[in-house]
Amino acid sequence: MAVTLNDIAKKAGVSLATVSLALNGSNKVNKDTKNRIKKIAEELNYVPNARARALVKKSTKTIGLVIPEVVNPFFAELAQSIKDYVRSQDFNVILCSTDYQSEEELRYINMFRSGQVDGAIFACAGDLMAEHNDLIIKLVKENIPVVYVDRDGLNHDLIPIVKSDIYHAAYQAADYLISLGHKNLGFIGQSVERLSGVKSALKNQGLEIKEKNIYYDYLKMEGGYAAGEKIAARDEKPEAVVCLNDEMAIGVIQALIAKDVKVPEEISVVGIDNIKMANFYNPSLTTVNIPVSKMGEKAAEILMKKITGKTLSPKEKFFIFPTKLVIRDSTRKI
């Protein structure tokens, strides 16, 4: 059905090889024949068969992007920026969301091994995925380059990592709250790294976090809401809370407001990420900016370098982005 090189060859009265060479712009074929062939290809509405080409070129011009979910502004922005970069190099991205399921990630790893992609980016998947690190290293050894985004791996030579200083982000958030005069802080979410950032900011001022002010809720808005409800129900509340991310922060605020606890008058709330909504929420959200678009772009750039066989600078093997406090209306001075 579809037009092939052979069809063009017959019509042009030349061999298939000449057609291939001509269409790929080889300078070994006569200019006139080249033009004639191109014209015929145009007429016949020829499109090279990507599947056949992939087989011989050993490349699909496609990368895999593994993220927990697209329905999450942070990952959506990451996906967008990665897609934008690779598209500029004529690559495509296969969307691989795992929904935080370990088996799903496994399925993707196996798919990658089959050569359906030329490389892959794995973004922050939580600790449960750590068990796959060995498999991913195997993948890399089988010549499918991988780069990590905000995910811990041991072997930066094999798997470059692009990350933000998430520990420092939490530190900045807590430190700012302390500077506003808050002493009794809370933390919402499960993240060892962030929690320890908060703790060390407190420690620097001779303060501590109370165990009962730590809420290990689910890392989405619903989780934040649940934590907010529990806080609202307490007599003696924390004065300010740091949330794992902006979505949780919004959930917390929404729950507090629903229970008539005023933000920031009664409790200051700060998020992490600086998603777009942080600026449009009411009250607008004080947060720590994570330059996710830049991170995505850098990760894509590094991956493309690996795919095209370029060598990486040491810095590119462990690329860390700074974070920045963004002050808005969900926090106030005591």
Task: Please give the residue ranges that form the binding site for DNA (CB under 7 A).
Answer: 2-6, 13-18, 20-21, 23-24, 28-31, 33, 46, 48-49, 51-53, 55-58
Asked if 23 interacts with its own copies (CB under 8 A), we say no
Sign of the four-CA dihedral 118, 137, 196, 318: negative
| Residue 254 contact partner, candidates DNA, its own copies, none, CB within 5 to 8 A by sort of partner | its own copies
**Near its own copies by CB under 8 A: residue from 17, 35, 55, 334:** 55
Q: In 3D, which of 221, 226, 284 has the Cα closest to residue 247?
A: 221
Closer Cβ to its own copies, 97 or 172, answer by number: 97
73 contact, one of its own copies, DNA, none, CB 5-8 Å limit per kind? its own copies
Please say which residue, 33 or 254, places its beta carbon nearer to DNA.
33
What angle do the packed helices 73-88 and 246-258 form, to 10 degrees?
A: 150
Under the binding rule (CB under 8 A), the answer on residue 327 touching its own copies is no
Per-position x/- string for 162-181, each x denoting binding to its own copies as judged by CB under 8 A, each - no binding: --------------------
Distance CA 233, CA 122 (A): 39
Among 11, 126, 254, 328, contact with its own copies (rule: CB under 8 A)? 254
Rounded Cα gap, residues 272 and 260, in angstroms: 24
**272 to 79, 142, 187, 227, 283: CA distances (angstroms):** 19, 37, 12, 16, 15
In sequence order, what are the residues at sequence separation of 6 or more whose Cβ sits closer than 8 angstroms to the Cβ of residue 168?
197, 322, 323
Tokens found for residue 50: 């990507």
Q: Of 5-13, 78-86, 153-161, 174-182, which segment contacts its own copies by CB under 8 A?
A: 78-86
276 φ, ψ (degrees, to nearest 5): -55, -40
Note whether 304 and 85 are within 8 A (CB).
yes
- Residues found near its own copies in the complex (CB under 8 A): 1-2, 47-52, 54-55, 58, 60, 62, 65, 69-73, 76-77, 79-80, 83-84, 87, 92-97, 99, 104, 110-111, 113-116, 142-143, 221, 225, 250-251, 253-254, 257, 276-277, 280-284
